[in-house]
Amino acid sequence: MIDVFLNEVKHIVDDYLKDFLKDSSIQRTTAVSKGFLLPEVDCLQYVEFVGSAHFSARSTSEVLQIINNLKPVGLCIELCQYRYEYILSMCDYCLEKNFCSKKCEFVATIKTLKREKMNLDFWLIDMIQDEIMARILARASSEEAKAWQRLQKYVEQREAYGMRLWEEGLKDESMLLFNGDLELMRKNFPTLWRVLILERNALMACRLIYLVSQYLGRGFKSFKIVAFVGAAHVGGIQMLLKQPGNAYQLLEQFGIAFSPPYFIRKD
């Protein structure tokens, strides 16, 4: 729900990253103390994105079609290990699993690909849920929390209508609906912007860069990785993939410790 609503801050996210990338004081580097060498290439050329509205059966169909067309080496999902395992366990006990509409889209996609025995790797690239919450709670003001509570019902109503448009294939109309008052968001939800969008973008971008470096190191040349993430994240991650050194500098600026993405077993 929050990712959909925060499509409203997309332009602010883009402006922040442009300012960061233009900062001449940032040191360009090809090597980092993470145990691997940063690729000296535009990593975006190796990554294909599918933007999701979350909990959308249509998004699942789209990513499956792209995978069938591109034959990528890997699929990266905007989930952490704990959220993935939780959703997986919920699916196992779901009373509707025999006639599922596949709205638990990230897990449904992985299940479908495993069932079809697609030859690709599965990776989880998002920040751990507990860390997200801890970072929000450590910075959020009481005024921000109260403002968010006041807007909860409004957000839910907008999301419900926007999701109906998305499922009907009216993506542009859906995204326009999610574009709201940016100044209101800037004033009331600075912590949510930073953690839920900016910080997660930085970590997911660095994990994608790490995977690109690993595949290049294994001798892959013309390959694609499909990244299946919330639509609000796509633009920011794409910008960071173009300059890998800057992506890791941004991660360090946020005080986020890098760790590789989580690999999901194929069996």
38-48 pLDDT, tens per residue? 888 899 999 99
* Portion of the chain with pLDDT greater than 90, in percent: 30
Contact 118, 164 (CB under 8 A): no
Whether 265 is in a domain gets the answer: no
Whether 259 is in a domain gets the answer: no
In 3D space, the residue among 5, 3, 19, 75 whose CA is nearest the CA of residue 234 turns out to be 3
88 φψ region: left (φ > 0), alpha (ψ -120 to 50), beta (else): alpha
Contact 78, 230 (CB under 8 A): yes
Average pLDDT value for residue range 215-226: 93
How far is CA 9 from each of CA 120, 181, 186, rounded to the nearest angstrom? 33, 9, 8
Phi, psi of 111 (to 5 degrees): -60, -45
pLDDT in tens, 168-202: 666 566 655 554 444 455 567 788 888 888 899 99
212 φψ region: left (φ > 0), alpha (ψ -120 to 50), beta (else): alpha
How far is CA 61 from each of CA 10, 101, 106, rounded to the nearest angstrom? 25, 11, 11
Whether 95 is in a domain gets the answer: yes
Q: How far is CA 95 from the centre of its chain?
A: 29
How far is CA 234 from each of CA 98, 134, 266, rounded to the nearest angstrom? 33, 24, 26
Whether 260 is in a domain gets the answer: no
Whether 267 is in a domain gets the answer: no
Whether 263 is in a domain gets the answer: no
Whether 258 is in a domain gets the answer: no
Question: Crossing angle of helices 81-92/129-139, nearest 10°?
Answer: 120
Whether 264 is in a domain gets the answer: no
Q: Grade residue 237 by pLDDT with cuts at 50, 70 and 90.
A: very high
Number of other CB atoms surrounding residue 164 within 10 Å:
12
pLDDT at position 227 over 80: yes
pLDDT at position 115 over 90: no
Q: In what order do the strands lie in the sheet with 74-77?
A: 47-52, 225-230, 74-77, 121-124, 262-264
pLDDT at position 244 over 60: yes
pLDDT at position 81 over 60: yes
Q: Grade residue 30 by pLDDT with cuts at 50, 70 and 90.
A: very low
The predicted model scores a pTM of 0.77
- For 245-261, give one letter per residue: b (16+ CB within 10 A) or e: bbbbbbbeebebebeeb
pLDDT: which is higher, 108 or 4: 108
Task: Print the domain residue range for 33.
Answer: 2-252
Please report the pLDDT score of residue 31 as a whole number. 40
